[in-house]
Structure 1
Amino acid sequence: MTPELTRLAAELTTVIDAVAASFGGHPDRTLDGELDCDPTTPGRLLCWQYGVRVEHPASPETRLPSLLPALHADGWESHDRSTPAEQITRFTRDGTDFTIHVAAAVTIIGSTRPVPA
């Protein structure tokens, strides 16, 4: 893993784990690793992906809005993509993004960012 990808992985793991902890329950890791993200030129652009799933999160309808002030204070911009059936918010900062997706009894939080190899 490149030094930039290592730094990014550590930073995003911390952010995503903190968000998951705020939903309560036990988060299950769904993704954690490097990915070659440009099929047209393999090995030139890498992504690191990390995601967790929280079953039966505590107060999902209020948890996501309560996280916004702290994430905004840390420089994350939010983009609401919610529908009447689910809450979806994408956060971006310096070319990095992660998404919080709350649907029924599951919350999924994941991230990715391409980095030149």
Structure 2
Amino acid sequence: MTPELTRLAAELTTVIDDVAAAFGGPADPTLSGELDCDPTSPGHLLCWQYGVRVDHPAAPESHLASLIPALHEAGWESHDRSTPREQITRFTREGADFTIHVAGAVTIIGSTRPVPA
């Protein structure tokens, strides 16, 4: 892994772990690793993907609402992609992104950041 990808992976992992902790339940990693992002030019653009699943008993929507101002303050822009059945918010900053997906008693948090290989 390139030094830039290593740095970005550490940054995104920390942000996602901090977000998961705010939901209060233990986070179970679902995805962690390097991925070739450009199928038209293999080996030229890599991504680091990291995701966790958090099971929680109640009110995950209020946890998300309380996180948004702090993430905005840290430079993340939010984009609401919610539907009537689930809450989905995508956060972006300097080419990195992660999504918080709240569906019932489960929250999925995942990220990616592309870098040239």
Distance (whole Å) between structure 2 residues aligned to residue 100 and residue 47 of structure 1: 18
What is residue 94 of structure 1 aligned with on the other side? 94
TM-score between both structures, scaled by the size of structure 1: 0.96
Q: Aligned AA for 2:105? A: A
Range moving further from structure 2, 56-65 or 14-23? 56-65
SS at match of 2:24: coil
Paired residue for 1:81?
81
Pairing of 1:58-69 with structure 2 (within 5 A):
58-69=58-69
Retained in 2: the 8 A contact 1:46–1:115?
Answer: yes
TM-score for both structures, normalised by structure 2: 0.96
> Which runs of at least 4 in structure 1 moved beyond 6 Å after TM superposition?
none
Distance in 2 of aligned mates of 1:82 and 1:90: 10
Alignment gaps of 5+ in structure 1: none
- Deviation readout 1:54-95 (Å, 9 max, x if unpaired): 112552021101101100000000000111111100000001
State, as a whole percentage, how many aligned pairs show the same letter: 83
Two-structure CA RMSD over aligned residues (Å): 0.9
Aligned residues: 117
- Structure 2: give runs of 5+ residues left out of the alignment: none
Q: Is the CA contact 2:81–2:87 (under 8 Å) kept in the aligned structure 1?
A: yes
